[in-house]
């Protein structure tokens, strides 16, 4: 490596380290309140994607209603949907078991046949429970609301398909650019 390249590398590293230090010092600190609950007051109550309100989504509504955004629900319907979701919460013991199996897979790489069978059973159980919740929620909606939901679902599927096509086109462009551009790293 040339002296000039080393100097530029050291300078860039210093600049990067300095920017990280400035960013870290400018970060909002989270202080525990009197009751021990941590709050980030700067962003409290703002925006769509706020964090820290477990089980709640935009506007303080239950997270399970995010698929129903854009559909006017009565307060009674919201209460019924919330009750359905609370009654069908996942069992913490099952969640811990699934987490343990995922950790075993990550750490060891392979699962035993018993673990695979149990994981499949847990997934099937969760899928069935999710379908049950979905059917219960749909039963609460009026025919007009169900139609709005179907329309919204079709729009979302169309957008997803467009995004997939766009991503495929971008990948093709990148591949053609890589093929057309010779590798310059071999010149040094």
In this prediction the pTM is: 0.52
- Could you read off the pLDDT of 140-164 as tens digits, one per residue? 999 999 999 899 989 999 999 999 9
Residue 128 corresponds to which tokens in the numbers above?
Answer: 């069935």
Instruction: Name the phi and psi angles at 45, rounded to 5.
Output: 80, 15
- Band of the pLDDT at 111, cuts 50, 70, 90? confident
The 3-state DSSP class for residue 4 equals: helix
Give which of 108, 43, 56, 112 is closest to 86, Cα–Cα.
56
Identify whether the C-beta of residue 90 lies closer than 8 Å to the C-beta of residue 126. yes
Q: Rounded to 5 degrees, what angle do the CA atoms 76, 82, 87 make?
A: 125
- Band of the pLDDT at 42, cuts 50, 70, 90? very low
Instruction: Name the phi and psi angles at 73, rounded to 5.
Output: -110, 145
Residue 39 makes CB contacts below 8 A (sequence gap 6+) with 30, 31, 33, 52
Q: Rounded to 5 degrees, what angle do the CA atoms 89, 153, 72 make?
A: 70
- Band of the pLDDT at 4, cuts 50, 70, 90? low
pLDDT > 90? residue 109: no
Crossing angle for the helix pair 113-140 and 92-108, nearest 10 degrees?
140
Residue 64 makes CB contacts below 8 A (sequence gap 6+) with 81, 82, 84, 85, 133, 137
Beta bridge partners of 57: none
Mean pLDDT (whole number) for 110-125: 87
Mean pLDDT (whole number) for 120-135: 90
pLDDT > 70? residue 65: no
- Could you read off the pLDDT of 9-34 as tens digits, one per residue? 666 665 555 555 565 555 544 455 55
Q: Which residues of 63-88 are buried (b: 16+ CB within 10 A; e: fewer)?
A: ebbeebeebebeeebeebbbebbeee
Mean pLDDT (whole number) for 68-86: 88
Mean pLDDT (whole number) for 167-186: 81
């Amino acid at each position: 490596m040339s002296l000039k390249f080393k100097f530029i590398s050291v300078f860039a590293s210093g600049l990067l380290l300095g920017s990280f230090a400035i960013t870290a010092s400018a970060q909002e600190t989270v202080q525990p309140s009197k009751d021990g609950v941590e709050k980030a007051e700067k962003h409290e109550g703002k925006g769509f994607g706020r964090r820290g309100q477990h089980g709640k989504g935009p506007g303080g509504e239950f997270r399970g209603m995010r698929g129903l955004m854009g559909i006017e629900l009565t307060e009674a319907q919201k209460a019924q949907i919330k009750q359905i979701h609370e009654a069908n919460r996942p069992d913490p013991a099952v969640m811990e078991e699934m987490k343990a199996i995922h950790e075993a897979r990550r750490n060891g790489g392979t699962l035993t046949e018993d673990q695979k069978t149990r994981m499949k059973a847990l997934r099937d159980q969760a899928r069935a429970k999710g379908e049950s919740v979905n059917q219960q929620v749909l039963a609460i909606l009026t025919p007009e609301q169900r139609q709005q939901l179907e329309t919204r679902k079709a729009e979302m599927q169309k957008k997803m398909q467009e995004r997939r096509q766009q991503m495929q086109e971008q990948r093709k462009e990148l591949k053609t650019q890589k093929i057309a551009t010779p590798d310059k790293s071999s010149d040094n």
